[in-house]
């Protein structure tokens, strides 16, 4: 069984697919998973968001259109979920008992991508390093437990829809003619600050998402 698996993997990765071909006018359907973590931003006078909420898993989807071989645009969305650390839960929300408060952050963004693959001169190049940047809406809220019952602050539910932007990059490897595996990392800055609603100490927040996934490309015209 192991030999069959090894042969299959090798056969995929030595396929004749290459980024040397022109990927213009292809539509890519991507899915990936990884992690999300807070990078910067205060939650109260004493704590940053990263002091209170820990790292967790992060799933995401993307549909993109390769305008020309070096440039693509896409719509992507993901779901961030950051559970409170046990010590901070007991300190800040003792009334919740064993419940796990969390920051929930579904989002949707429009990104542009610049591909370096076409600039690499190696024959039958299968690698495509890329950089990406975009803007989006982040529909975030703090929950008492299990993503549902929302926390309150100053008499208001602790939630909002906030504008944000992201920048990042990664590398694709074309394992087959239309199938690429990739790794990527993005930094998101979300404009959560609202002094009237959440007070002076809750600021804008920065997050890091990272992961690996696959993209399948379809040609939009007859080949």
The reported pLDDT for the residue numbered 62 is 96
The Cβ-side half-sphere exposure at 80, using a 13 Å CA radius, reads 27
Residue 167: beta bridge partners? 133, 187
Alpha-carbon distances of 34 from 8, 16, 57, 183, 186, rounded to whole Å: 25, 29, 6, 9, 11
The reported pLDDT for the residue numbered 172 is 95
CA nearest 23: which of 72, 73, 74? 72
pLDDT tens digits, one per residue of 30-65: 999 999 999 999 988 888 999 999 989 999 999 999
pTM for this entry: 0.85
pLDDT tens digits, one per residue of 145-165: 766 677 765 456 778 899 999
All domains of the chain in start order, with CATH: 2-219 (2.40.160.20)
Listed in sequence order, the DSSP H helices in the chain are 2-13, 49-52, 86-92, 195-198
Q: Residue 217 belongs to what H/E stretch?
A: strand 205-219
Which stretches in the chain have pLDDT values below 70? 1-21, 123, 146-148, 152-156, 220-223
């Amino acid at each position: 069984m192991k030999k069959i698996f090894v042969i299959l993997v090798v056969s995929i990765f030595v396929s004749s697919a290459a980024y040397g071909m022109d990927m213009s006018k292809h539509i890519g359907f991507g899915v990936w998973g990884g992690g999300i973590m807070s990078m910067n931003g205060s939650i109260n006078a004493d704590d940053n968001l990263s002091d209170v909420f820990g790292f967790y898993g992060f799933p995401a989807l993307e549909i993109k259109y390769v305008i020309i071989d070096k440039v693509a645009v896409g719509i992507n969305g993901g779901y961030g979920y950051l559970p409170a650390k046990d010590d901070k839960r007991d300190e800040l929300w003792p009334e919740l008992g064993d419940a796990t408060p969390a920051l929930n952050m579904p989002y949707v963004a429009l990104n542009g991508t610049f591909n370096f693959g076409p600039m690499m001169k190696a024959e039958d190049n299968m690698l495509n390093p890329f950089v990406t940047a975009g803007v989006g809406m982040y529909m975030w809220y703090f929950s008492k437990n299990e993503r549902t019952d929302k926390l309150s602050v100053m008499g208001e539910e602790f939630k909002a829809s906030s504008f944000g932007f992201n920048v990042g990059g990664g590398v694709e490897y074309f394992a087959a003619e239309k199938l690429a595996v990739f790794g990527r990392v993005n930094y998101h800055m979300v404009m959560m600050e609202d002094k009237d609603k959440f007070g002076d100490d809750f600021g804008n927040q920065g997050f890091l998402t990272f992961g690996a996934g696959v993209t399948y490309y379809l040609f939009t015209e007859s080949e």
